A and B are shown apart, each in its own frame.
Chain A
């Protein structure tokens, strides 16, 4: 039983990271139907920036803020320079664009920070053991931060004017424009949200899961799977999806074969998309007319 709990908890922790990344996918997709293949790179970049900031003497909280702010700027730049100029955004176009940005970011990280994996200083706290399950303090931070961010994002979308405006853009772009919602601003805001959530994921995860120039790929794709479990349109769905995916991966690695861990996410993806493309954690199967 302890083993099961240990595995499950480890899964929740990594799943929370997937959830944060997944929120970023949902944020952008709901506004512009773009799937941002550079989402994982936001996380990796923020981790590396924070590590450098700490190494140059800044206290940890400041370093974290610097990292998140920097990545937010990068995300905005990405939107303005690469997404906004494209007049006709097709699937292929958006994939190649975001793939290009992702590749370029990876190369920049490789050139600046080198090939090694690095870990950010852990956030303050003690490790604890509960019910025989050994829990690292950073894992508690990850879960806590994810909960706070998720609640904040959901509150934003459902309670604030701008949040509702974003949702309107997603559902009816023309109508939204007609009532005066600027699609450009909505797009920028969505990228901002994606950048911030991705960056937070990166700094929270770095002490435990380590960051390197190419750690964005795996985490980005798993975050995408998490978002898909929520139909790509539901923040709640993405969070639940991320957690579920993390736990499933951990259990498969523990009880079946550790090597199959990475395959889990994609088997889940293919199964979900073929069987229920509207997502598993969504209210009803919505037919796109």
Chain B
């Protein structure tokens, strides 16, 4: 069965693109071709920006900075040092990427607005540096950059330069597409949907974003090289804010949902620019100069309010009306929900695990203060291989906070967490994941932009290796991609979601989304699994099936910590039970011990009010305030 999307549509699209671009200079009037050259140059930079904003979710208002670095480097090396165009180009792109890498180390720690304005500031700093430095030619910049020459043919007419750019744009687009549908692309998509969930599946968000930031700058650098040769002059305006705004407009107009948007957006924006420069002065006499800004501004505002997904969204809406919402829903309704395997053989056994019964997770003195509130107070816990520990207690007792601290989502105020002997408290969640531990979430952290299968495939992130380069080239990573899809599907079937594998994750009822989260967590092949209320929203049958699954996992040697409110289910399933109340551990023992522990009863389980003796005991213990249930 075919699990991965077909590449055929992509190939057709690229074929048509090449034909159209090749034919364009032959048919279009010269002024259009001139505009087209700029469109292609800017498109290259915009592809990088779309990758950064759409895929990695980072807003950059400074794409022109790296564009300028590429352009200046090329200009200086070619005019001042007489380097050949190609060698200089390689250095220019490397330099732009390097600059992004170094700056990204600092800037990418910023979030949202701060990153956007930090990149804006970067653009201004580069402009100032270029203006002030003799080396870069000051305000006048570098001029006299020759047109490229290959095989005794100088590419100096708009048509020739256009053709020169076409393969660059096509390859750039191809590489970007490959990355988007690769393992790295999937991981980044997951980060966009839920950064915390992606991290707990082992995705090192910072590192990936830095990679995309660097790559995006490389694209800008390439565009800058071609810009330098075409314009023959490079000056500090190449890094200026209006240019970064133009790149932003191109990406947003085309639609951040697809890298094709960059190419289409570029043509649109450049033609819009040209036509507005001629149109507005006719409507408003005497208006000259950057009047096209009026159009840009209005377009941006309207886009965001009416069509935030850009042209891509417009297209999807239009097609959606015609084609109808096909696929997933009908499939799922037609096929009966497959029930998981009813046998109880061990699952996910792994040779590398320590002996059953040995301590895997050790928590000592775990404490968390939020300002003046003590959410978790001095908790000691141990989880053993091949064991299920249940964590129960009233709402607000601190269970999820514990999970958050153990999995690295929160830093403990004090206390230690040791996994397989190594301290992991205060480390980021992907460290937790790399130590073969993972978790699910009480507030669902589903990757809404993906299918069920897609979600679980993200779970395979740590069990696969293809880095960005292999993903970019597509073929070296193809076999692994197929493998990832297959193993993910196996896990999906195992939990009983096989029929819904290709549905959008958010289309599932909440309970089954929770199940999907479990599948996703299992896909990482963990030794330790933290489950935060996995049974909420499941039917009785589904709960029994999940319980069976957990037993099989335990039999295979996994250590499981389970937070649940279904006390009966939990007491039947667990080997050890820990009870939290008000941040403190009030009881720890076997299910039987816990069931009868008066403190637990008073705090959580509650007691039959007709049993006067017990009620009296409870009243004494709690100072008359009565128990909660």
List B residues 119-138 near A (Cβ within 8 Å): 120-122, 124-125, 128-129, 131-132
Q: Which residues of B contact A35 (CB under 8 A)?
A: 113, 117
Q: Are A95 and B245 in contact (CB under 8 A)?
A: no
Q: How far is the CA of A92 from the CA of B109 in the complex (A)?
A: 17
Chain A 61-101, CB-CB to B under 8 Å as 1, else 0, gives: 00000000000000000000010011000011111110111
Q: Are A257 and B114 in contact (CB under 8 A)?
A: no
Q: Are B121 and A270 in contact (CB under 8 A)?
A: yes
Q: Are A115 and B289 in contact (CB under 8 A)?
A: yes
Q: Are B117 and A217 in contact (CB under 8 A)?
A: no
Q: Are B121 and A100 in contact (CB under 8 A)?
A: no
Q: Which of A100, A105, A263 sits near B300, CB closer than 8 Å?
A: A100
Q: How far is the CA of A269 from the CA of B59 in the complex (A)?
A: 17
Q: How far is the CA of A262 from the CA of B124 in the complex (A)?
A: 8
Check if B284 is an interface residue, CB within 8 A of chain A.
yes
- Is chain B's binding surface mostly helix, strand, loop or mixed? helix
Most buried by B among A95, A97, A108, A277: A95
Q: How far is the CA of A269 from the CA of B62 in the complex (A)?
A: 14
Q: Which residues of B contact A270 (CB under 8 A)?
A: 106-107, 118, 121-122
Q: Are B291 and A110 in contact (CB under 8 A)?
A: yes
Q: Are A106 and B110 in contact (CB under 8 A)?
A: no
Q: How many residues of B contact A (CB 8 A)?
A: 48
Check if B259 is an interface residue, CB within 8 A of chain A.
no
Chain A 34-61, CB-CB to B under 8 Å as 1, else 0, gives: 0100000000000000000000000000
Q: Which of B112, B120, B248, B297 sits near A221, CB closer than 8 Å?
A: B120
Check if A148 is an interface residue, CB within 8 A of chain B.
no
Q: Are A110 and B289 in contact (CB under 8 A)?
A: yes
Q: How far is the CA of A102 from the CA of B300 in the complex (A)?
A: 10
Instruction: Given the known inter-chain contacts A99-B245, A270-B107, please indicate yes or no for A82 contacting B305, CB distance below 8 A.
Output: yes
Q: Are B299 and A100 in contact (CB under 8 A)?
A: yes
Q: Which residues of A contact B110 (CB under 8 A)?
A: 273-274, 277
Q: Are B297 and A96 in contact (CB under 8 A)?
A: no
Minimum CB–CB distance for A12 against chain B, Å: 23
Q: How far is the CA of A50 from the CA of B122 in the complex (A)?
A: 34
Q: How far is the CA of A221 from the CA of B305 in the complex (A)?
A: 24
Q: Which residues of B contact A263 (CB under 8 A)?
A: 124-125, 128-129
Check if A191 is an interface residue, CB within 8 A of chain B.
no
Instruction: Given the known inter-chain contacts A260-B132, A266-B125, please indicate yes or no for A96 contacting B305, CB distance below 8 A.
Output: no
Q: Which residues of A contact B308 (CB under 8 A)?
A: 93
Chain B 450-464, CB-CB to A under 8 Å as 1, else 0, gives: 000000000000000
Check if B301 is an interface residue, CB within 8 A of chain A.
yes
Q: Which of A91, A224, A228 sits near B59, CB closer than 8 Å?
A: A91
Q: Are A273 and B297 in contact (CB under 8 A)?
A: no
Q: Which residues of B contact A265 (CB under 8 A)?
A: 121, 124
Q: Which residues of B contact A108 (CB under 8 A)?
A: 294
Q: Are B128 and A273 in contact (CB under 8 A)?
A: no
Check if A267 is an interface residue, CB within 8 A of chain B.
yes
Chain A 223-240, CB-CB to B under 8 Å as 1, else 0, gives: 010001000000000000
Q: Are B125 and A104 in contact (CB under 8 A)?
A: no
Q: Are B132 and A96 in contact (CB under 8 A)?
A: no
Instruction: Given the known inter-chain contacts A93-B308, A110-B291, please indicate yes or no for A101 contacting B297, CB distance below 8 A.
Output: yes
A33 to B, closest residue via Cβ: B113
Instruction: Given the known inter-chain contacts A110-B290, A270-B121, A277-B114, please indicate yes or no for A103 contacting B59, CB distance below 8 A.
Output: no
Can you list the 5 inter-chain pairs with the closest CB atoms, starting with the nearest? A104-B297, A100-B300, A266-B121, A103-B297, A107-B294
Chosen A-B contacts, 19 in total, with CB atoms closer than 8 Å, are A82-B304, A91-B116, A93-B308, A100-B300, A103-B297, A104-B293, A104-B296, A107-B294, A111-B287, A221-B121, A259-B128, A262-B124, A262-B128, A263-B125, A270-B107, A273-B110, A273-B114, A273-B118, A277-B110
